[in-house]
A and B are shown apart, each in its own frame.
Chain A
Amino acid sequence: MSVLDLRHVSKSFAATAALKDMTLTIEPGEIHAIVGENGAGKSTLIKIMTGVHQPDQGQIFVSGAPVTIRSTQEAQSHGIAAIYQEPMVFPDLDVAENIFISNRAQGAFMNWKQIYAQASDLISQLGVTLDVHRAASGLTLAEQQTVEIARALSLNVKVLIMDEPTASLSAHEVARLLSIARALKAKGVAVIYISHRLDEIFQIADRVTVIRDGQHISTKPIDQVTPDGMVKDMVGRAIDTFAVKSAANPHGDSVLRLEGLGRAGVFSGITFDLSAGEVLCFAGLVGARRTDVALALFGISPSTEGRILIDGQAVTITSPQQAMGHKIAYVSEDRRKMGLALSLPIFANISLASLGKLLGAFGLIDRKAEAAMAEGYRKQLAIKSPHVGVEVGKLSGGNQQKVMLAKWLETKPRILIFDEPTRGVDVGAKAEVHNIIRTLAQEGVAVLVISSDLPEVMALADRVLVMREGRQAGILDISEATQEKVIRLAAGSARGQVAA
């Protein structure tokens, strides 16, 4: 008997139908992948299963019995739990308490001894080691996910939904998460696995369901699916997964040169040349301090050793203002924290970094010019939004990324740094972002891309700089680079085989 059954479920928000007649069956002990583009209805589907939303039509069955799920608490009582890309842990509490905080079966009083013992037991059942006394604030994202999974396990979960669990994980951590998923499967737990990373799905899933535009397209055992067929089902047409690289640009003069750049205690010894029209990718494991190099270049956490040369002239960069003065732009990884004002409309976000150019009479912002400029980018970058007055917070991840890109393009940068440009962005939008990056390079912009997505690195880069633990592990020309070589450099030769 199936453990979770959705039959003819529909859900609309205002006039928009998010799910249409969705039918989905989950068997105990299976890993069931659900794929689809952003906006295909995956998050609505999860929210219906976890009780955040209630369906307008259709029925849900748990182990054959019809149920209504009105809250996450009710979902938990039916044995349904979810973990997300951003783990939901309590940073001030320790690991054990994070696991048992909402466990009603534990009684009114805290039996700390028992809590620590049971927590250790749950963690070891997942096949990982983690000190249950540690505060969650010091845990890595992967460890926080482990805590969430253990929490679900403590509640006798029957169905665990993993929503983009690996989006922010390093290769090593991804491997560990996949093995945890297999451990759950072995215990008879059904895992619903949602990811943009097709390679993971082929590694782990038993069955794959593709949804598009809120509708069920197909459910097939994994051995009857090919990557191309899956992508075709997702987007409704065949596309190239990755942009075909144009013929390499004739490299111009060196625009940017770093000589032994470092920041005390963070990274050191970064040396490279970057020419106009070139794309240099930074590869490495999470924690290799790649973002810190970008932050130093952009003046947010300035370098303390080495030199930065622009057009052969040594420069000091200690603030983003100075960096922008040298025509450097930084499209950050964390769109919410550093990049976008989510409550402001698209045009205000795009003009934010270049308001000086938009001043009209009396030094006031020329609203007309601002709107026209933003409209230009909306068309050029195909930002999916009816007009540029829409709040950025209402856009999908990929379109937010485009708004942020537009903001920096408007500063007419000569050196453009992208930090994880396609994290959390779906397959279709990813290809568009890649095209934009290549086009910019062709127009003569010097581009730095930090990416943890190896296929992306291989598709975009002219050269690959690999970092390991704050140091430069090597630079490979794309002609000699392979994924294996990059991983070996990133992980250190000893661990290279494991990570690959």
Chain B
Amino acid sequence: MTRLHPQTLRIIALFVALLATVLFFSTQIDNYLSPRMFTRITTSAAVILPIAVGQAIVVMTRNIDLSIGSTVGVVAYLTGEFLGGHPDLHPLAVALLAMGIGGLMGAINGVLVAWGRVPSIIVTLGTLALYRSFLVQYSDAKTITTASLPQWLVDLPQANAFSLFGLDVRVTVVLALLSALAMGLALTRLRAARRIYAVGSNPDAAVMAGINAGMVVFVAFVLSGAFAGLSGLIFLAKFGNITVVAGMGFELKSVAAVVVGGVSILGGSGSMIGVVIGCVLVDTIDNSLTRWELVSEFWRDALLGMLIMAAVTVDTVMSRSLGRLGGKGGA
């Protein structure tokens, strides 16, 4: 195999884009290439990465999960509240609880999409509002504050897993990377996980090939919910203060990271390494723009939006010209 696989090419392109972004901002912002900036970006990306991983799985099956922002909010709130009454719960049990709640919420989406045959954009647009409404009702306008959380959780965002060349790698960052790594390994090594690609690539063919496509889609949504749950836990630890607006807008951030990371919005392709780089790239741009003197605050969102559109356009043009080279000539 001397020929580069299009996916590999895409990862390289993404990596180059990330490098170029970092280099560019290092000429613009004083003290940019610093351990502190590294921590800023990695810890901020760590909140989004798990949901981007979950979103990627769903998008690979040719669906979308717009409810994960609300899922993050509900999980952060419920977990925070539960910890208020059970501060001695083992950290691992807390993680399982958060992912379990998230998984359950994902399962509701999954059932409706896989077996209810309702388009995922409709289902998750509905649960986006539904889960948020549930949180509004349930919370009764009470805020979860750091005071009610166990100390280990409050300290978690500052906890260092290890240091590398003077760069601190935080525990939350390791957690987020582990979720991507686990999913990445599954997607390349596990036969059952390969079916995610198959279903997204050609749903009819999947059924013809004897794959239980409904089950695959269902599992994808459960995983998306569970990863959103993990994200909710990291959110809770990092911000401490949980109100009904927690996690709002995360669905769009995750879709942005996934799409920039080279997961085809039409399903069937994409890789976890791409999602990680996409997530970091989006976060780097966002965090760098706020520190860039030349750009006013008002342009930040617009610039970020333009960059995402540029990424998608480049992607589309690239895959179209690759398709042409591949030669599917007509009669």
A71 in the interface (beta carbon within 8 A): yes
Q: How many residues of B contact A (CB 8 A)?
A: 34
On whether A101 and B327 interact (CB within 8 A), knowing A91-B201, A92-B201, A107-B191, the answer reads no
Complex CA distance for A178 and B147, rounded to whole angstroms: 76
A166 in the interface (beta carbon within 8 A): no
Nearest CB in chain B: distance from A80 CB, A: 11
B211 in the interface (beta carbon within 8 A): yes
Nearest CB in chain A: distance from B204 CB, A: 6
B189 in the interface (beta carbon within 8 A): yes
6 A-B residue pairs with Cβ-Cβ distance under 8 Å, sorted by A, are A90-B202, A92-B197, A92-B269, A289-B331, A420-B331, A452-B331
Contacts of B188 in A (CB 8 A): 110
Nearest CB in chain A: distance from B331 CB, A: 5
A351 in the interface (beta carbon within 8 A): no
Would you give the 0/1 interface string for B3-21, flagging 1 where the beta carbon is closer than 8 Å to chain A?
A: 0011000000000000000
Binds B, one of A19-27, A206-214, A280-288, A307-315: A280-288
Contacts of A71 in B (CB 8 A): 210
Name the residue of chain B whose CB is nearest to the CB of A470.
B329
A108 in the interface (beta carbon within 8 A): yes
Would you give the 0/1 interface string for B190-214, flagging 1 where the beta carbon is closer than 8 Å to chain A?
A: 1110110110111011111111100
On whether A289 and B330 interact (CB within 8 A), knowing A91-B202, A91-B268, A102-B211, the answer reads yes
B328 in the interface (beta carbon within 8 A): yes
B1 in the interface (beta carbon within 8 A): yes
Q: Is the CB of B326 within 8 A of A137?
A: yes
A88 in the interface (beta carbon within 8 A): yes
Name the residue of chain B whose CB is nearest to the CB of A452.
B331
Interface core residue of B5, B210, B211 (most chain A CB under 10 Å)? B210
Interface core residue of B1, B204, B269 (most chain A CB under 10 Å)? B269
- Select one of A89, A97, A287 contacting B331, CB under 8 A: A287
Interface residues of A (CB under 8 A from B): 71-73, 76, 82, 88-93, 97, 101-102, 106-110, 133, 135, 137-138, 140, 151, 284, 286-292, 333, 419-420, 450, 452
- Select one of A90, A106, A138, A287 contacting B326, CB under 8 A: A138
Q: Is the CB of A108 within 8 A of B191?
A: yes
Complex CA distance for A73 and B269, rounded to whole angstroms: 25
Complex CA distance for A91 and B200, rounded to whole angstroms: 10
B323 in the interface (beta carbon within 8 A): yes
Q: Is the CB of A93 within 8 A of B330?
A: no
Complex CA distance for A73 and B214, rounded to whole angstroms: 14
Nearest CB in chain B: distance from A18 CB, A: 20
Q: Is the CB of A102 within 8 A of B210?
A: yes
Q: Is the CB of B191 within 8 A of A106?
A: yes
Q: Is the CB of A110 within 8 A of B194?
A: yes
Q: Is the CB of B198 within 8 A of A101?
A: yes
- Select one of A82, A89, A93, A106 contacting B197, CB under 8 A: A93
Complex CA distance for A253 and B3, rounded to whole angstroms: 54
- Select one of B192, B202, B331 contacting A284, CB under 8 A: B331
Complex CA distance for A151 and B211, rounded to whole angstroms: 13
Q: A88-B204, A93-B268, A110-B188 are in contact. List 5 more A-B contacts (CB 8 A).
A: A72-B208, A72-B210, A92-B264, A93-B194, A102-B209
Q: Is the CB of B210 within 8 A of A88?
A: no
Complex CA distance for A178 and B134, rounded to whole angstroms: 62
- Select one of B200, B204, B206, B327 contacting A138, CB under 8 A: B327
On whether A333 and B197 interact (CB within 8 A), knowing A108-B191, A108-B192, A110-B188, the answer reads no
Complex CA distance for A452 and B331, rounded to whole angstroms: 8
On whether A101 and B195 interact (CB within 8 A), knowing A73-B210, A92-B269, the answer reads yes
Q: Is the CB of B268 within 8 A of A109?
A: no
Complex CA distance for A88 and B5, rounded to whole angstroms: 22
Contacts of B264 in A (CB 8 A): 92
Complex CA distance for A27 and B330, rounded to whole angstroms: 38
Name the residue of chain A whose CB is nearest to the CB of B270.
A92
Q: Is the CB of A137 within 8 A of B331?
A: no
Q: Is the CB of A109 within 8 A of B190?
A: yes
Complex CA distance for A108 and B185, rounded to whole angstroms: 13
Complex CA distance for A109 and B193, rounded to whole angstroms: 9
Contacts of B209 in A (CB 8 A): 72, 88, 101-102, 151
Contacts of B212 in A (CB 8 A): 73
Q: Is the CB of B210 within 8 A of A289?
A: no
Complex CA distance for A97 and B194, rounded to whole angstroms: 9
On whether A289 and B189 interact (CB within 8 A), knowing A92-B269, A135-B6, the answer reads no
Nearest CB in chain B: distance from A132 CB, A: 11
Contacts of B6 in A (CB 8 A): 135
Complex CA distance for A135 and B331, rounded to whole angstroms: 22
Complex CA distance for A72 and B212, rounded to whole angstroms: 10
Complex CA distance for A138 and B328, rounded to whole angstroms: 7
Q: Is the CB of A88 within 8 A of B202?
A: yes
Contacts of B195 in A (CB 8 A): 101
Complex CA distance for A138 and B5, rounded to whole angstroms: 12
Contacts of A292 in B (CB 8 A): 330
Complex CA distance for A93 and B268, rounded to whole angstroms: 8
Nearest CB in chain A: distance from B74 CB, A: 33
Q: Is the CB of A90 within 8 A of B198?
A: yes
Complex CA distance for A108 and B329, rounded to whole angstroms: 38
On whether A101 and B269 interact (CB within 8 A), knowing A138-B326, A333-B331, A420-B331, the answer reads no
Name the residue of chain A whose CB is nearest to the CB of B329.
A287
Nearest CB in chain A: distance from B7 CB, A: 9
Interface core residue of A92, A133, A284, A288 (most chain B CB under 10 Å)? A92
Complex CA distance for A110 and B211, rounded to whole angstroms: 16
- Select one of B190, B202, B208, B269 contacting A108, CB under 8 A: B190
Nearest CB in chain B: distance from A83 CB, A: 9
Interface core residue of A135, A333, A420 (most chain B CB under 10 Å)? A135
Which B residues between 209 and 244 are near A, CB-CB below 8 angstroms?
Answer: 209-212
Q: Is the CB of A290 within 8 A of B331?
A: yes
Q: Is the CB of B191 within 8 A of A291?
A: no
Complex CA distance for A333 and B194, rounded to whole angstroms: 34
Q: Is the CB of A450 within 8 A of B194?
A: no
- Select one of B5, B190, B191, B205 contacting A90, CB under 8 A: B205
Name the residue of chain A whose CB is nearest to the CB of B205.
A88
Q: Is the CB of A90 within 8 A of B197?
A: yes
Contacts of A82 in B (CB 8 A): 208
Interface core residue of B1, B207, B209 (most chain A CB under 10 Å)? B209
Nearest CB in chain B: distance from A158 CB, A: 16
Q: Is the CB of A450 within 8 A of B331?
A: yes
Complex CA distance for A288 and B329, rounded to whole angstroms: 8
Contacts of B200 in A (CB 8 A): 92
Complex CA distance for A419 and B330, rounded to whole angstroms: 11
Nearest CB in chain B: distance from A82 CB, A: 8
